[in-house]
Amino acid sequence: MRVNLLDFDANTLAGFCAEIGEKPFRARQLLRWIHRSGEADFAGMSDLAKEMRDKLSATAVIEPPRVIGDHTAADGTRKWLLSVGAGNGIETVFIPETSRGTLCISSQVGCALACTFCATGRQGFNRNLTVAEIIGQLWWANKALAEEPDDESVTESGEIAYSRKGVRYASCSERGRAISNVVMMGMGEPLANFENVVTALDLMLDDNAYGLSRRRVTVSTSGLVPAMDRLRERCPVALAVSLHAPNDALRDQLVPINKKYPISELLAACQRYLRSAPRDFITFEYVMLDGVNDSVAHARELVQRVRHTPCKFNLIPFNPFPDSGYQRSSPEAVRLFRDVLMQAGLVTTVRKTRGDDIAAACGQLAGQVLDKTRRASRRMMEAAG
């Protein structure tokens, strides 16, 4: 059976090269062909000897998940549905902005953590994604976006500037790469699939592969404290934490993992993480749910709760999905909540809703999940009485 080279980072690829009788430096060449150039055909790797290309064809493949859906929203947000076999599909989202292009990557088919305001959590869990299925999302997106034509403009100094999908390239060396940032915020809890996610992160950071900065790669977690400590030791990238409540009683309802790792333990883990983090703050994500967690009193309680943790807040207006049971907070409620945090000296932003018309906004990703947790079935039985 041929191995999928998308599953390999630099070290395992070097080991594979040794197994087929090739020198370690060939691994670097392969990384560049596979990830920089997006080449999936060994015959096209022109600086490899024909004998090596023949050996690769006989023993290996480069096989990302298959694209089965591709939708672009009115605001330029693009969402891909990728098949990962057995009737399961994951979703990946590209968000173009003037100063950057962000790719939101999934780490699991569904999610086992069952956060009540998240479409992925509501639909149950099937399995972890492999390294090839995780990094394959970035591989596909790079390839798809590279096919878009460049827009040219002239700067005030007379130089030609290039952009694609609204994302401007800072230098000629960045042409052809619209993705400047990656966030592990798609379907699933990344730290529940630790080894595969970290191997994919290694590839994102590898200069022979995608060459992204640690500051431009973010892992979002609902609060798996032991795995946060492991990430700090193994591959510290930027960290975002799904907080969503100022106290344990409310967070237990919204984010059930809080019953195992309460807020005090979570914040202690955040402080430990900052010792190795590429940024000097933790980003706390806070979805704004009308009448649930969005009052001024909640905001004041939140200020007290995080006063010893260097952080910034990203307030996320709730993005509705069918039968969620929640409503989006009013703009006035969001403004008042934000003002309390900012008056306390906390950097606070309100996330702009993107891709809502193609169900690509935060919390809306659903994909296709054959639920092994039977969560959807149980919910239907409960609703039936």
The alpha carbon of residue 206 and the mean position of all alpha carbons in its chain are separated, in whole angstroms, by 17
b or e along 61-80 (b: 16 or more beta carbons within 10 Å of the residue's beta carbon)? ebbbbebeeebebebbbbbb
> Is 362 a known active-site residue?
yes
> Is 118 a known active-site residue?
no
φ and ψ of 53, to 5 deg: -65, -35
* Torsion sign (Cα): 106, 108, 113, 116: positive
User: Tokens in use for 146?
Assistant: 């590279």
Catalytic residue among 22, 91, 133, 285: 91
**Distance, CA of 175 to CA of 90 (rounded, Å):** 28
Catalytic residue among 17, 104, 111, 362: 362
Q: Which residue has the tokens 């290694």?
A: 202
Terminal Cα-to-Cα distance of the chain (whole angstroms): 50
CA distances from 107 to 81, 129, 221 (A): 14, 6, 11
φ and ψ of 351, to 5 deg: -65, 130
| Catalytic residue list | 91, 362
